Amino acid sequence: MDIRPADLALLVSLNTLLEENNVTRAAARLNISQPALSAQLARLRELLGDPLLVPSESGRGMVPTARALALRDGLRDSLRLLAAAVRDPESFDPARAERTFMIAANDNVVTMFGIELVRRIDANGGAGLRAGFCEPNLDGIVARMERAELDLLLAAAQTIPAALKAVPLSSERYVMAQRRGHPRGMRAPSLKQFCALKHVLVSGRGEFHSFLDQRLQEAGQQRQVAVVVPHYNLVPAILAHTDYVCTLPVRFLQRFNDQLDIFKLPFDLPEFAIAMAWHPRSEYDAGHRWLREQLKSVEL
């Protein structure tokens, strides 16, 4: 296939044809005559070596070929990005904007970053600016972003789908926490002491085993997991009323400095990055850029 610069305008017509599956309706949208669009379709068929659209057996409209279906999504997204790239930059005034930002993040990440984001929206936004958080179910999340149902995903960097654009927000490390006034005292635990303590584990599936337990098992050690909860924010409340301990990201636990004491672990765990991700369709949106800038500047 060899498309010359003079033929690039045909791609706009092809995109409209694939959206309408009807030459008459597509011609009306493009504000050209039906014969003119039919001539463009003939040229596209010649260039691409494929009929692209064939008459429906029902006699109404057209049916895209396999080649046309393979082209459709990439062509649509490319035209959207091209239009956004040449469009004059929009301004975004949070005090006047009428917009709801939807963010997928678990309660751990909401605690670390979402609280400050909400404070900034409250301080800078008017009555029309809102934020919503939902569970980060990765199944179908790219499609939900494509449909503009979600603006951002905040999650561990290694879990971000490759189809999304992403930037890291922070590098996190794990620490142990216990309630203020815990009878074991204020010394960092040895590995033996760590394993002898009763632990609270966060697991949405109710599992009593995590990557940390796997790491201990590989070292010939085992801790006591006494309680499993589905949400991170339940852990400080449980620690406050028991002698249990937990191992969670330090940025999360520091939100509860008035309730908890934090200690270095008696073994090494790799750090991990929290990232924010968005669909390429939102790259040039002024409001979306404002939202991303707010999150990138969040500090504990």
Q: Where along the chain do its domains lie? A: 5-86, 99-169+274-296, 174-270
Cα(127)–Cα(217) distance, integer angstroms: 53
Report the pLDDT value the prediction gives residue 94, as an integer from 0 to 100.
93
- Paired residues of 172 in beta bridges: 272
Which CATH class for the 5-86 domain?
A: mainly alpha
Q: At 290, phi and psi to the nearest 5? A: -60, -45
* Digit-coded pLDDT (tens) for 248-286: 999 999 999 999 999 999 999 999 999 999 999 999 899
User: What is this structure's pTM?
Assistant: 0.67
Report the pLDDT value the prediction gives residue 78, as an integer from 0 to 100.
86
CATH topology of domain 174-270: D-Maltodextrin-Binding Protein; domain 2 (3.40.190)
Residue 198 and residue 224 in contact, taking contact as beta carbons nearer than 8 Å? yes
Local confidence band at 3 (pLDDT 50, 70, 90 cut-offs):
low
- Which of 196, 203, 205, 188 shows the shortest CA–CA distance to 244? 196
CA angle (166, 170, 176) in 5-degree steps:
135
Is the per-residue pLDDT at 88 higher than 70? no
Cα(120)–Cα(275) distance, integer angstroms: 19
Q: Calculate mean pLDDT across residues 183-208.
A: 96
Task: Find out if CATH 3.30.360.10 is the number for domain 99-169+274-296.
Answer: no
The distance in angstroms from the start CA to the end CA of the chain is 54
- 174-270 has the same fold as 99-169+274-296: yes
Is the per-residue pLDDT at 87 higher than 70? no
Cα(237)–Cα(28) distance, integer angstroms: 63
3-class DSSP assignment, residue 133: strand
What angle do the packed helices 286-296 and 115-124 form, to 10 degrees?
130
E strands, 234-297, where?
A: 245-249, 260-263, 272-278
Q: For residue 104, how far is the Cα from the chain centroid?
A: 6
Percent of the chain at pLDDT exceeding 90: 77
